[in-house]
C-alpha cells in the first residue's frame, strides 16, 4: 500500500481578500496519478501551484493551513524554495523549451544545481530522454535546437528537462491542451509510465483524460473540493450531485 | 470633400513625406561621397595628419575614435545593462523605478554640449584627468547610457516570462536565470542598443572636443589626449584648413557607421538564427 506523499490539511489561499481555495483537505498517494478537474476558475491550477509555491511570485497571496510533503509542512515560511521546487517539479500548459539545443535543455537543471562533470550530465541526458521516450528518436540530434521539434516532442522534452533534476512529484498543468489528440494520447501513456517512478498530479479540463490516466480524481468548484475519491467511483457512482452533473457534462 | 478623396490626399502626403525623408538622407550621403571619396586613399587612412590636417591622412584620429568608443562602452555597457536588469528583474514597478526611468529620460535630454562642459569641469579640471581618452570616454558613456538602458530594458522585457518560471521550477536562482536564459535571449536587442550608441558616439563632437581634446598624436595611455574623426572634420571645416580632407574624413565616418550597422545586423541575424 502506497503511503501519502502529499497531505493537504485545511488549506486556504487568498488573493488579497478573495478566498481562492477554501478549506481543502485530502491526501495524495505515492506512485499514483491524481487528476484535479473542475470548471475554469475553480482553483485547480492555483492548488497545483501551491504544491511548489509558484504562487509566491504573485503579490498579495496569503495561505492558511498545511500542505505536508513527506510529513514536512511546505506551506510555512522559511522553507527552502529552491530545494522544494527541485523535489516537486512542474510542467506547464504550453511546451516551453529554452531556445537551446536538446542537450542544453536537459542539462540546464543539473547545471544550475552545480553539476559540472560531463559524464554525469551526459548520463542525465540519456536517462531523462529515455524515460520520456525520446532517446531513440533524438540521440543523434542532441545538438538540434529544441524549438525545431514538434509540439509533442517539445512537451516530452520539457518533461525530460524536469526529470533531470530528479523530482519526486511531477505537477502537470493541462499538459496536453496545446497538443493534438494523438499526441495527447501518447503523453497520457507517458504519465502512466511516469507514475512507476514518480507521483503525478495533473490538472485537466479533459474529463476523458482524467478518467483514462488517473487513479484518483478530485473535483473542484469555486475554490472548494467537492469530492475526492477513486477515479472509477467519481465517474460512475459519485456521492455528490455536483460531481455527477459535472462529469456527465451538465455544467462546466 | 469626399472621404475617398481625403483618403487619397492623406496617402499622397504621407508617401511624399516618407520619400522626402529618404531623399534628404540620400542627398547628404551623395554630397559627402562625391566630395569625399576621390580623396580617400590607403595612404589617407594609414598616414598621420600633417600640417594641422592640411596634408597627410587621418590615422591618428581613427585610432582616437576607436579608443574613445571602446572606453565609453566598457563603462556604459555594464552600467546600462545592470540598470536595465535591476529595473526589470529585481524591482516591482513603483516609485523607485519611476524615479530611475525619469532620471534616464532627463539624462537623454541633456544637450551634449552641457555634458562636454560637465566633463571638462569635473574630469579634465577638477579630477585632473586632463584632456584624455579617459575623460572623453567617461563623458561619452554618460551620453550613451540612456540609449543602452532603454534598449536593454525593452530587450529584457521581451524575453518570455515562462523562462523565469521554468528556471524556478528547475531550481535555478534568479541570477542563474538572468545569466543563463534572460541575457542570452535579450542579447540581440542589447546589441542593437550598443550599436545605436556607437553610431551616436562616433559622430559626437560637442562632448568630445572638451574632454578628449584636439591633439593630433596617437593616444596610447588612457591619459593621452587625442582627436576623434568627428572633431577632426569639424576643425578642418570650421577653420577652413582643407575642405577636401574634411569631406574625405566625413566619408570615412559615414562608411564606418554604415559598416558597423551592417555588421551588427549580420551578427544579430546569425545569433537569432542559431537560437531558433
Q: Cα–Cα distance between B193 and A199 in angstroms, integer?
A: 47
Give the residue-averaged pLDDT of B162-186: 89
B96 vs chain A: nearest CA distance in angstroms? 18
- Looking at the fold, whether B26 and B124 belong to one and the same domain comes out as no
Tell me which residue in A52, A94, A145 faces B169 most closely, judged by beta carbons: A52
What is the pTM (predicted TM-score) of this model?
Answer: 0.80
Which residue carries 475526492 as its cell?
Answer: A228
Which candidate in A54, A95, A108, A161 is best for mutational testing of the B interface (most B CBs within 10 A)? A108
B174 vs chain A: nearest CA distance in angstroms? 10
Domain carrying residue B17? 3-38
Q: What is the pLDDT of residues B259-269, one digit of tens each?
A: 888 887 787 77
Which candidate in B160, B166, B179, B184 is best for mutational testing of the A interface (most A CBs within 10 A)? B166
Cβ–Cβ below 8 Å for A165 and B171: yes
Q: Is A120 contained in some domain?
A: yes
Q: What is the pLDDT of residues A14-43, one digit of tens each?
A: 998 899 999 999 999 999 999 999 998 899
Give the residue-averaged pLDDT of A4-22: 93
B105 in helix, strand or coil?
helix
Query: What residues are paired with A169 via a beta bridge?
Result: A88, A199
A145 touches chain B (CB under 8 A): yes
Q: Please report residues of A whose CB lies closer than 8 A to that of B169.
A: 52, 54, 85, 89-90, 162
- Looking at the fold, whether B33 and B57 belong to one and the same domain comes out as no
Query: What residues are paired with B41 via a beta bridge?
Result: none
> Could you tell me the pLDDT band of residue B173, with boundaries at 50, 70 and 90?
confident
Share of chain A above pLDDT 90, in %: 70
Q: Please report residues of A whose CB lies closer than 8 A to that of B185.
A: 99
A47-51, B2-6, B224-228: least confident range: B2-6
Cell of A129: 530522454
Distances in Å between the Cα of A248 and the Cα atoms of A211, A233, A236 are 12, 13, 10
Q: CATH number, domain at B64?
A: 1.10.3720.10
For residue A45, give every residue at least 6 positions away whose Cβ sits within 8 Å of its Cβ, in sequence order, or none: A173, A174, A203
A10 in helix, strand or coil?
strand
- Looking at the fold, whether B30 and B167 belong to one and the same domain comes out as no
- Looking at the fold, whether B14 and B75 belong to one and the same domain comes out as no
What angle separates helix B59-85 from helix B183-202, to the nearest 10 degrees? Answer: 140
Q: Cα–Cα distance between A155 and B14 in angstroms, integer?
A: 47
Cβ–Cβ below 8 Å for A162 and B165: no
Q: What is the pLDDT of residues A110-130, one digit of tens each?
A: 998 888 999 999 999 999 999
Q: What is the Cα gyration radius of chain A?
A: 18
Give the residue-averaged pLDDT of A224-244: 92
- Looking at the fold, whether B129 and B177 belong to one and the same domain comes out as yes
The terminus-to-terminus CA distance of chain A in angstroms comes to 34
B160 touches chain A (CB under 8 A): yes
CB pairs below 8 Å between A and B: how many?
64
Q: What share of chain A is helix, strand, coil (3-state, %, to 5)?
A: 40, 25, 35
**DSSP secondary structure letters along A4-15:** EEEEEEEEEEEE
Q: CATH number, domain at A45?
A: 3.40.50.300
- Tell me, what's the pLDDT at A135? 93
- Looking at the fold, whether B33 and B83 belong to one and the same domain comes out as no
Domain carrying residue A154? 4-247
- Looking at the fold, whether B120 and B15 belong to one and the same domain comes out as no
Q: Is A146 contained in some domain?
A: yes
- Looking at the fold, whether B155 and B74 belong to one and the same domain comes out as yes
Which residue carries 534628404 as its cell?
Answer: B24
What is the average pLDDT score of chain A?
Answer: 91
State the ipTM, two decimals.
0.79
Cβ–Cβ below 8 Å for B168 and A148: no
Residue A2 clears pLDDT 70, i.e. is over it: no
Cell of B30: 551623395
Q: Is A252 contained in some domain?
A: no
Q: Cα–Cα distance between A213 and A205 in angstroms, integer?
A: 13
Closest among A54, A63, A69, A44 to B170, alpha carbons compared: A54
Tell me which residue in B165, B169, B180 faces A162 most closely, judged by beta carbons: B169
Quick one: closest CA in B to A167, which residue? B170
Indicate the DSSP class of residue A57: G
- Looking at the fold, whether B26 and B50 belong to one and the same domain comes out as no
- Looking at the fold, whether B25 and B125 belong to one and the same domain comes out as no
CB B43 within 8 A of CB B111: no
- Looking at the fold, whether B241 and B201 belong to one and the same domain comes out as yes
What angle separates helix A151-163 from helix B161-169, to the nearest 10 degrees? Answer: 40
- Looking at the fold, whether B95 and B33 belong to one and the same domain comes out as no
Which candidate in A60, A98, A160 is best for mutational testing of the B interface (most B CBs within 10 A)? A98
Tell me which residue in A94, A109, A148 faces B170 most closely, judged by beta carbons: A109
CA angle A114, A115, A118 (to 5 degrees): 150
**Structural domain total, chain B:** 2
For residue B210, give every residue at least 6 positions away whose Cβ sits within 8 Å of its Cβ, in sequence order, or none: B116, B117, B119, B120, B124, B139
Cβ–Cβ below 8 Å for B170 and A162: yes
Q: Is A147 contained in some domain?
A: yes
Cβ–Cβ below 8 Å for B169 and A94: no
Q: Cα–Cα distance between A165 and A128 in angstroms, integer?
A: 9
Q: What is the pLDDT of residues B74-124, one digit of tens each?
A: 999 999 999 999 999 988 888 999 999 999 999 999 999 999 999 999 999
**DSSP secondary structure letters along A171-228:** EEESTTTTS-HHHHHHHHHHHHHHTTTSEEEEE-S-HHHHHHH-SEEEEEETTEEEEE
Give the residue-averaged pLDDT of B41-57: 89
Indicate the DSSP class of residue B246: H
CA angle A84, A89, A95 (to 5 degrees): 150
**Structural domain total, chain A:** 1
Share of chain B above pLDDT 90, in %: 70
CB B167 within 8 A of CB B176: yes
Q: Phi and psi at residue B48, in whole multiples of 5°? A: -80, 155
Quick one: closest CA in B to A97, which residue? B163
Q: Cα–Cα distance between A91 and B179 in angstroms, integer?
A: 22
Cβ–Cβ below 8 Å for B166 and A98: yes
Q: Please report residues of A whose CB lies closer than 8 A to that of B173.
A: 82, 112
Amino acid at each position: 500500500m502506497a503511503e501519502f506523499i502529499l497531505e493537504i490539511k485545511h488549506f486556504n489561499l487568498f488573493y488579497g481578500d478573495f478566498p481562492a481555495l477554501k478549506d481543502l483537505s485530502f491526501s495524495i498517494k505515492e506512485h499514483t496519478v491524481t487528476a484535479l478537474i473542475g470548471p475554469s476558475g475553480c482553483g485547480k491550477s492555483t492548488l497545483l501551484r501551491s504544491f511548489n509555491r509558484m504562487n509566491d511570485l504573485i503579490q498579495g497571496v496569503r495561505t492558511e493551513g498545511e500542505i505536508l510533503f513527506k510529513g514536512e509542512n511546505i506551506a510555512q515560511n522559511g522553507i527552502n524554495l529552491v530545494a522544494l521546487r527541485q523535489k516537486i517539479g512542474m510542467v506547464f500548459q504550453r511546451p516551453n523549451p529554452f531556445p537551446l539545443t536538446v542537450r542544453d535543455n536537459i542539462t540546464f537543471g543539473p547545471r544550475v544545481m552545480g553539476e559540472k562533470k560531463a559524464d554525469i550530465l551526459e548520463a542525465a541526458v540519456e536517462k531523462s530522454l529515455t524515460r520520456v521516450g525520446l532517446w531513440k528518436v533524438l540521440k543523434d540530434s542532441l545538438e538540434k535546437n529544441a524549438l525545431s521539434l514538434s509540439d509533442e516532442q517539445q512537451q516530452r522534452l520539457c518533461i525530460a528537462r524536469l526529470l533531470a533534476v530528479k523530482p519526486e512529484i511531477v505537477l502537470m498543468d493541462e499538459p496536453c491542451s496545446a497538443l493534438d489528440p494523438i499526441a495527447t494520447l501518447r503523453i497520457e501513456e507517458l504519465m502512466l509510465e511516469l507514475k512507476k517512478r514518480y507521483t503525478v498530479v495533473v490538472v485537466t479540463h479533459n474529463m476523458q483524460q482524467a478518467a483514462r490516466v488517473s487513479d484518483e480524481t478530485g473535483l473542484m468548484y469555486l475554490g472548494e473540493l467537492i469530492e475526492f475519491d477513486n477515479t472509477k467511483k467519481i465517474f460512475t457512482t459519485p456521492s455528490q450531485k455536483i460531481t455527477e452533473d459535472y462529469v456527465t457534462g451538465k455544467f462546466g | 470633400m469626399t472621404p475617398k478623396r481625403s483618403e487619397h490626399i492623406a496617402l499622397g502626403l504621407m508617401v511624399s513625406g516618407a520619400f522626402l525623408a529618404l531623399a534628404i538622407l540620400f542627398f547628404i550621403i551623395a554630397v559627402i561621397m562625391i566630395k569625399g571619396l576621390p580623396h580617400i586613399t590607403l595612404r589617407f587612412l594609414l598616414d598621420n595628419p600633417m600640417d594641422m590636417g592640411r596634408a597627410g591622412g587621418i590615422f591618428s584620429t581613427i585610432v582616437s575614435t576607436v579608443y574613445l568608443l571602446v572606453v565609453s562602452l566598457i563603462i556604459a555597457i555594464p552600467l546600462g545593462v545592470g540598470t536595465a536588469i535591476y529595473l526589470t528583474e529585481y524591482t516591482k514597478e513603483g516609485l523607485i523605478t519611476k524615479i530611475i526611468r525619469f532620471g534616464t529620460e532627463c539624462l537623454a535630454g541633456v544637450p551634449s554640449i552641457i555634458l562636454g562642459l560637465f566633463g571638462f569641469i569635473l574630469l579634465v579640471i577638477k579630477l585632473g584627468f586632463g584632456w584624455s581618452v579617459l575623460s572623453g570616454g567617461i563623458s561619452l558613456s554618460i551620453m550613451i547610457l540612456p540609449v543602452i538602458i532603454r534598449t536593454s530594458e525593452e530587450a529584457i522585457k521581451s524575453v518570455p516570462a515562462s523562462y523565469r518560471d521554468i528556471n524556478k521550477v528547475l531550481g535555478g536562482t534568479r541570477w542563474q536565470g538572468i545569466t543563463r536564459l534572460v541575457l542570452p535571449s535579450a542579447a540581440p536587442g542589447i546589441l542593437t542598443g550598443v550599436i545605436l550608441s556607437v553610431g551616436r558616439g562616433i559622430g559626437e563632437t560637442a562632448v568630445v572636443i572638451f574632454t578628449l581634446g584636439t591633439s593630433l598624436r596617437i593616444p596610447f595611455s588612457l591619459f593621452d589626449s587625442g582627436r576623434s574623426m568627428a572633431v577632426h572634420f569639424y576643425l578642418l571645416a570650421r577653420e577652413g584648413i582643407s575642405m577636401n580632407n574634411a569631406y574625405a574624413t566625413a566619408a570615412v565616418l559615414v562608411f564606418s557607421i554604415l559598416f558597423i550597422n551592417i555588421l551588427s545586423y549580420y551578427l544579430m541575424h546569425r545569433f537569432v538564427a542559431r537560437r531558433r
